[in-house]
A and B are shown apart, each in its own frame.
Chain A
Amino acid sequence: MNLDFMLLQTNSLRFAHPGQAPISFPDISLAGGEALLILGQSGSGKTTLLNLLAGLHTPSQGSVVLDGVNLSTLKGHRLDLFRGQHVGIVFQKPHLIAALSVKQNLELAQFFGKKKGLSPTELLQDLGLAAKATAAVGTLSEGEAQRVSIARALVNSPKLILADEPTSSLDDLHAQRVVQLLKAQAAKIGAALVIVTHDQRVKTEVSQVLEVKSA
């Protein structure tokens, strides 16, 4: 495999939670604009893999290379900043900052990422949220909140978008729309997209699938 062309590349990743058997993960290679679905049972280590990709966990063995940078070589604030600039994360729940308005949530990401990626206003327009820009987060519906959290993950135009069970609390219609939105936006900014899920509805949307099985 040619590493030079791959935006995201992992090599023989292993991680051990304290007091548990180490988990080995299959290697991942993703080019910009590509999408990957990671499937697996609860407890199989899907989320652990996601945390490794985001640099939230340090692997006990192996490496994660994003855009030519080995995450293990970054420490402290440099890792935080790298994550803020190059990795966008969509969580299972939107987890927006309730004290801020919709637009301020996006501006916050740009402040911490020290990056002017996309214009928050335009992004909100793209996602059909223009009318909600100044709304308090608490007034949004579940689907709107999830779209805002996607916007937040995109606003710094990251290289890698990680989505952790983004559809689990949504109905069929919204689930499909969220996945399509993620795919479209990732392709638009040329980012690699990794979706972790056990949601069968997502399977049909993404061709590349990786199965994680606990040993």
Chain B
Amino acid sequence: MNLLTLSWKYLSFRPLSTGLNAILLAFGLAIITVLLLVQHQFEQKMTRDAAGIDLVVGAKGSPLQLILASVYHIDFPTGNIKMEEAQRISRNRLVKQVIPLAMGDNRQGFRIVGTNHDYLSLYEVSFAAGKAWEFPFEVTLGASAAQALGLKLGDSFTGSHGISVGSHDHDQQQFKVTGILAPTGKVVDRLVLTSIESVWYTHEEQGEESVATEEVELPLEEGTSHEEEDHDAHAEALDPLKVPVAAQGFPSTNQEREVTSLLVRYRNPMAAIQLPRMINSATSMQAASPAFEMSRLFELLGVGISLLQGLAIALVVIAGLSIFIALYNSLKERKYDLAILRTLGASRGQLVTLVFLEGISLTTLGALLGIALGHGFLAIVVELTAQEVVNLVDPWVFLPEEGLIFGYALAVGMLASLIPAWSAYQTSIAKQLTKT
């Protein structure tokens, strides 16, 4: 028998009141946990996925959409840009590196992204199996994509047209898995990576006559291939599928081709000032900075987050009050108990400790429950939603900030116990015992 056991006995002696208060506090803390997890993981993933990307260049449209589509592979692309123009940017002296991206297909919702090997270096990937693509229609799968699609090294599959599930299949050409990446926790996990050439050829296959390179919802440059059908280069004379793809830079082609967007890295800080303005005013493309667009997005979301935070704080305060009332009421009933404890040899200090322990055990219980509820709630939401954005969140990550939740709970417990503890300290044994 000790004070902690005794306080616990008192709490479990009133299971309904204890349970209600713990749950009330838990709800408030669960909301805080969810906010903490979502905010932290979004910010962390957003920052990590955008690391090394100073600027994104793509077709004109919403800059936020361009960033979401090209960096995070969430939104639809704004359209395509001419490769010739893109190549001109890569030759600019302010530019250190350009990674071209070509999008437009998916495999059961996992995006097939055409790019070069620089993209793999950008995310510092390592291979779980196989190696990077070398020929057209060879693909490298991100870890979660490989797992979800159930594909192994050497398997073949067809892509579907469009960014999301439900469109027609490109069944003329099969992709072949030649590499699977180790999990990175970054956006590449969800992607099916291949060469830009693969994306081009896929779209040629489906209609040699009509569209060579087309974009999903915005076939900007329809009919580009019509006039380019007079293939004269030696590369085209060979079977293009037997020619190794470009591992760096842009693929070589004599046709007027398109890409979806470019991930640009600056050569020096001066570029941050000059390059976006130059691209936005002097070309038909637009440039958007991931850092700027994401902070704008978080500003927009901020209102909702503040609202939820307010609700959470209100819940925690109400829980605190409710715990205070419960302690205070139970203490009034227990004045006789306290007097008895004193006659058994308990000091005033021990009684005060007892009351504090009771308050703090209750709020610690609430904190544990709250954190469990928060993670559990998030797990259910992630499980039930097919939305990729939501799937970015891992509900079973535990943050050091969750220690703060215990801090809040402790503070609530202390505050709520303050007055009851004082009244326990003041209790006169003799007076209490002679009252009948």
Contact = CB atoms under 8 A, between A and B. Distances in A.
Contacts of A47: 434
Nearest to B428: A56
Contacts of A104: 1, 9
Given A47-B434, A51-B430, A108-B6, A95 B340 contact: yes
A112 B344 contact: yes
A100 interface: yes
B10 interface: yes
B337 A97 contact: yes
Interface stretch (B248-256, B319-327, B345-353): B345-353
B381 interface: no
A215 interface: no
Interface in A56-83: 56-57, 76-77, 80-81, 83
B344 A108 contact: yes
B345 A56 contact: no
Nearest to B341: A112
A80 B1 contact: no
A95 B342 CA distance: 13
A92 interface: yes
Interface string A107-139: 111111110000000000000000000000000
A112 B433 CA distance: 18
Interface string B20-31: 000000000000
Name the residue among B6, B337, B344, B349 with the largest chain A CB count within 10 angstroms. Answer: B344
A112 B429 contact: no
Given A51-B434, A95-B336, A99-B10, A109 B344 contact: yes
A89 interface: yes
A204 B50 CA distance: 95
B428 to A, nearest CB: 9
A57 B430 contact: yes
A10 interface: no
Contacts of A16: none
A30 interface: no
Contacts of A100: 6, 9
B9 A99 contact: yes
18 contacts: A51-B430, A54-B343, A56-B430, A77-B347, A80-B348, A81-B347, A83-B345, A84-B345, A95-B336, A95-B337, A98-B13, A98-B337, A99-B9, A100-B9, A108-B6, A111-B1, A112-B345, A112-B346
Interface of A: 47, 51, 54, 56-57, 76-77, 80-81, 83-85, 87, 89, 91-93, 95, 97-100, 104, 107-114, 152, 156
Shortest Cβ-Cβ A-B pairs, 8 listed = A84-B345, A99-B13, A77-B347, A112-B345, A56-B430, A107-B1, A113-B345, A111-B1
